[in-house]
Structure formats: C-alpha cells, structure tokens
Amino acid sequence: MREISPGSLLPLERELCERFEQCLLGTVNSDEHLVWRGRYLTANIVVQIGATSFLVRIEEGKIKECQKGLPLLCSTVFAVKGTTKAWAAFWENPPKPKWHDIFALTKFGEMSIEGNLQPFMANLQYMKDVLAAPRKGGVK
C-alpha cells in the first residue's frame, strides 16, 4: 500500500481528508433511505481529494470501508477526483455558485470522473448524495 505521511499533506487537504474519512460511513449508513436508493450498487470506487486517494467499498448501498491510500493493483470501477479547492468549496454549506455540484466542478476543470461510468450514472443521485455527505446538514 502507498504510504501517506500525514505531515506531507497541506493543512487544508489533511483537514478535508479527515472530515471525509470520519463522516462517510456514519452519515451514509445511518440514512436508511439513501442506502435503499443505492441498493443496486456494489462497487469499489476511488475518491481523490487533492493528492490523497481513498478506496471506498460500497456494498448494496452501504459503505463497508473507507480506506486512505490504494492497495497495490486493486481493481476499482470508477474514480471521482477533485482538487483540494473543489472539495473545500463543494462541502461548504451552502456551497457557492459554480462550486455546488460535481458537474459544475467538472465543467470548470476542478474535478474529473473517470473509469466505467455506467454504474455511476445509473446511481447518479445516490452518488451525488454520498459525495456530498461531508456537507453536514447541507443541501443535496
């Protein structure tokens, strides 16, 4: 596994990574309706915040694991990669115009969505809500 030294991350990126890691499982899995909406999605995906990658294991809409760093040769279905600035603005509550949606961020060059996008698009609102989970109490 690629080792990440906490000291090597910029303060904002470290803060965002901690926020994502700490809240993803609890926020998603405690929302019964959100899990139900994602019930047909089982996939390993990558979420990248700045230079830091997370492996997120989704099983029938539940987040089973959110692991910092990618194991060697791990297979993933799709990846959502954003700049530190993008995630920081996206998770503001409320987010500002042009930073409020993942497609705004991709359109304006702050995010990319890569890989096999069929499961992503087939579960699009679920995925948008999962990615917005760190925006506690925020709009979806």
Joined together, the tokens standing for residue 93 give 């509550």
**Which one of 102, 130, 131, 133 is in contact with another protein (CB under 8 A)?**
102
Query: Pattern of binders to another protein over 57-96, x per CB under 8 A?
Result: -------------------------------------xx-
Per rule CB under 8 A, is residue 106 in the interface with another protein?
yes
Rounded alpha-carbon distances, angstroms, from residue 120 to 46, 61, 128, 138: 12, 12, 9, 22
| Residue closer to another protein (CB basis): 18 or 101 | 101
Q: H or E element: which one contains 125?
A: helix 124-131
DSSP class of residue 52?
E
Per rule CB under 8 A, is residue 107 in the interface with another protein?
yes
Rounded alpha-carbon distances, angstroms, from residue 47 to 14, 44, 111, 127: 14, 10, 11, 11
Q: Nearest 5°: CA angle at 20, between 96 and 127?
A: 70
Query: Pattern of binders to another protein over 113-132, x per CB under 8 A?
Result: ----xx--xx-xx--x----
Contact positions toward another protein, by CB under 8 A? 94-95, 97-98, 100-104, 106-107, 117-118, 121-122, 124-125, 128, 139-140
